[in-house]
Structures are given as C-alpha cells and as structure tokens.
C-alpha cells in the first residue's frame, strides 16, 4: 500500500491535503481548510455576515471558492487606497442598505459592478 499526499490549493490561498492510496484509489482529506484570516477571507466573512450565510454550515464548501475569486477582484479594485479591506467592507455595508431599501438582491459580483459608482458617490 502506497499513500501519496497531494496539496490542493483553493483560489483564496487555503491549502487542503488529500491523501490517496495508489493501490486501490481510496482517498481521505487530512487537513480541511479553515476559515482563513487574510484580507480575502475578511471580505468573504463580512459578506457572509451581512447576508446571514454564516449560519449555513455547507456554505463554505459550496460557495467559498467562487466568493474568494470575486473578493480578490474587489481587493484589486480598491488596492490603491490606504485600507482596501475597510473600504471594501464599507462599500458592502452601503450596498446592502441600499439593496434592502430599494428591494433588490445583491452579491459580491454586485459589489464589483457598483464599486466605481459608489466611489464617485462617496467623493461628492
């Protein structure tokens, strides 16, 4: 029996270790990804809290890779500001309130689309 460990990297930088038995093909996850603590995970965590997805136990497994990819785009947009994570969270807060007031649904992709207009509105 030969066991091989494969590191599998998520788009947000988290690494999971997958151990595969080369003899029979059985596999086991040795290290599951944790909640993370970087700027991307801070944005994803804030989004989950605003949308109340933090109470859904399977959300990370199903949606975290996509959310991390979009959070990376959000950070890239705000990258030249002094506190890109704080500004991104403020933008999400404002968009959340506006969506609730006007009755429309928002996602992290909405933040990417509306961030330029939000910056212009904030600078007035």
Say if CB 17 and CB 30 are below 8 A apart: yes
In tens, the pLDDT along 11-63 reads 666 677 777 877 777 777 766 555 566 899 999 999 999 999 988 889 988 99
d(CA 95, CA 118) in angstroms, rounded, equals: 8
pLDDT value at position 73? 96
Strand-pairing partners, residue 90, are none
Beta-carbon contacts of residue 109 (< 8 Å; ≥ 6 apart): 70
In tens, the pLDDT along 65-117 reads 999 999 999 999 999 999 999 999 999 999 999 999 999 999 999 999 999 99
């Amino acid at each position: 029996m030969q066991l091989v460990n494969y590191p599998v990297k998520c788009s947000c930088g988290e690494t999971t270790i997958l151990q595969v038995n080369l003899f029979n093909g059985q596999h086991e996850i040795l290290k599951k990804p944790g909640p993370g603590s970087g700027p991307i995970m801070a944005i994803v965590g804030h989004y989950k809290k605003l949308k109340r997805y933090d109470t859904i136990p399977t959300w990370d497994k199903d949606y975290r890779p996509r959310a991390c990819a979009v959070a990376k785009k959000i950070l890239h947009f705000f990258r030249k500001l002094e506190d890109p994570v704080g500004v991104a969270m403020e933008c999400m807060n404002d968009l959340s309130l506006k969506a609730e007031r006007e009755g429309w649904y928002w996602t992290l992709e909405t933040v990417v689309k509306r961030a330029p207009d939000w910056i212009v509105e904030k600078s007035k």
